[in-house]
Chains A and B, each alone.
Chain A
Amino acid sequence: MAYVATRGGERAIEQAERLFRAEMGRIEKARVAELRAALPYLIDRVMGEASLYDEDLAALALAQTGGELSEAVLLLRAWRTTQPRLATAEVIEQDGLFTHRRISAAFKDIPGGQILGPTLDYSHRVLATEVLQGDAFTPDPVTPAQAPAPAHQPSVSTWQAENELVDLPEPDPAKGGDIPDLTREPLLFPSRRAHTLQSLARAETGGVLALGYAAMRGYGQAHPTVNELRLAEAEIVVTHPDGRRFSAGRVKVSEAEVVDKKGEKLSLGFAATFGWNEIKCIAAATLDLNSPGAEKGAPTEEEFFLYHTEGVESSGFCIHFKLPHYVTFQSSLDAMRDAKAKRAAKSGEPAQ
């Protein structure tokens, strides 16, 4: 088989790109700022899937791609490779999270209480069509409490361990460059747990939800209950050249812990991601909970869900089918015609 070199597409390609970009028009700093302010949850989703935290870059990627999420994530992942890695921060511990939302569906009276935080979970979903008539939609302001909530909330699973419902894990001593890193090592199976969780953290939200939902509907071994769900901010703790440690700022993170109720103790599944994206975390934690012992080819088997929820690879593979396959397709047609001709010749032969 050989490739056939073709020419004549350069002008069409250039004009096609222009046609795509014409729809978005001129992009200025103000548009990026408006996107960042108006769409924080979309920004969070893009940062999580890109595995790169910076709201301005995420907003710029959305502006430049017209909201084509696969393209926006690809742009950010590509841009990331132009930057040096300056440090690895200290490991974020749950008890250090500046918590905005912390709920449990498993236990009503968890230590620290149930804090709903920012959510539409219990609200009517009504489209504010009056905005299209020219009337602004102005949300009612929050009435702040007299006293602030504690910045840090206790862990539900630690409390459960005190009540002999779960076994608390020994903390992994790995830190800094010792922590396995998917951006520098291949994903091999059986996957190391650090690779699994990193892969889920940067996975495509829709893919994770689809496979997690399959597990929830019965194509898995364990039905999840949300043990703890948090939306929080985490400190980026780095080290000064003289050895002092300090926080270089905060980033938004989400984490979910789900439990299975089989056996004498609860077993836990966990997932976390950049930004506030709780659906992704619950679905990913469900996959984590279901993966031990999952059959090969099941949606809850780690190789299946990790490969198929990697957004840049999956979207890239999907769109590659649009590219010219003229030679391979022609070859297949030749084989079909050849088989047809042979069949016709055979049927034309005189009966023995």
Chain B
Amino acid sequence: MTETDSSLDTLARARPAPLKALGERLIGALGDIEVIQSRTGLVMLPMRDTAHGTAFHLGEVLVSEAHIRARGIDGYGMRRGRDLEAAMAMALVDLALSLEVEPEACRAFIAAEAKLQAAADDETLRKVEATRVKMETF
């Protein structure tokens, strides 16, 4: 499995409203920001075929992307779906963490969202586990 950055993973799935609120709060503290990209677009998603090992394209996913820069440091956000403000908020939090701007607030937000996401996954998987077949052999 691919190793990923857990903070960015969490931000990409964070609830839009609280994420936007945090992003809004960070704008003033970050100072001048250059917006390099703020757009929707597609990410092509390939998959591995288990029969022959071939990589092939399943199709494209709609995403929102934000790429910003301040003091020579990049902030980046990409989230599934059509929400440019949420992608921008993700980029602002990412940039704030890199520049150590309100890092405690950002880390606390990410930790809280990660906990919610883990709880949601746990709930889903406990329901999935309820459908496990307990085989008996006669």
Contacts and interface: CB of A to CB of B under 8 A. Distances in A.
Interface of A: 47-48, 50-54, 56-57, 80, 83-96, 98-101, 108-109, 113-119, 142-152, 155, 157, 168-172, 174-175, 179-183, 193-198, 201-202, 228, 234-238, 240-242, 244-251, 253, 255, 257, 268-270, 272-274, 288
Contacts of B48: 91-94, 171-172
Interface string B49-89: 11111111111111101010000001010111110000000
10 contacts: A47-B59, A83-B62, A85-B41, A92-B47, A171-B55, A194-B57, A234-B47, A236-B80, A249-B61, A272-B47
Nearest to A251: B61
B50 A157 contact: yes
Contact of B132 (A93, A109, A113): A113
A289 B125 CA distance: 32
B133 interface: yes
B59 A274 contact: yes
A54 B1 contact: no
Contact of B53 (A51, A172, A237): A172
B123 interface: yes
A213 to B, nearest CB: 20
Contact of B129 (A119, A145, A168, A268): A145
A165 to B, nearest CB: 13
B130 A143 contact: yes
B46, B82, B135 — which one has the most chain A CB atoms within 10 A of its CB? Answer: B46
Interface stretch (B8-16, B18-26, B27-35, B106-114): B8-16
A325 to B, nearest CB: 35
Contacts of B128: 99-101, 115, 117, 148-149
B129 A149 contact: yes
Contact of A83 (B40, B52, B81): B40
Given A116-B131, A251-B80, A89 B52 contact: no
Contacts of A80: 42, 60
Contacts of B52: 169, 172, 193, 268, 270
A248 B8 CA distance: 8
Interface residues of B, number: 58
B82 to A, nearest CB: 7
Contact of B81 (A56, A168, A195): A56
Contacts of B53: 168-172
Contacts of B127: 142, 144-145
For the complex of A and B, the 10 pairs showing the least CB-CB separation, nearest first, are A249-B80, A169-B53, A246-B8, A148-B125, A51-B59, A268-B51, A145-B129, A144-B126, A54-B62, A270-B51
A169 to B, nearest CB: 3
Contacts of B3: 245
Contact of A274 (B12, B50, B51, B58): B58
Contact of B1 (A95, A117, A149, A193): A95
A201 B129 contact: no
Contacts of B94: 240
Contacts of B125: 148-151
Contacts of B12: 246-249
Given A54-B61, A248-B61, A288-B51, 5 more contacts: A144-B126, A170-B53, A172-B54, A175-B55, A245-B4
Contacts of A108: 135
A200 to B, nearest CB: 9
Nearest to B36: A241
Contact of B44 (A89, A247, A249): A89
A228 to B, nearest CB: 8
A246 B110 CA distance: 14
B126 A148 contact: yes
B60 A51 contact: yes
Contact of B55 (A91, A238, A268): A91
Contacts of A174: 55
Nearest to B122: A148
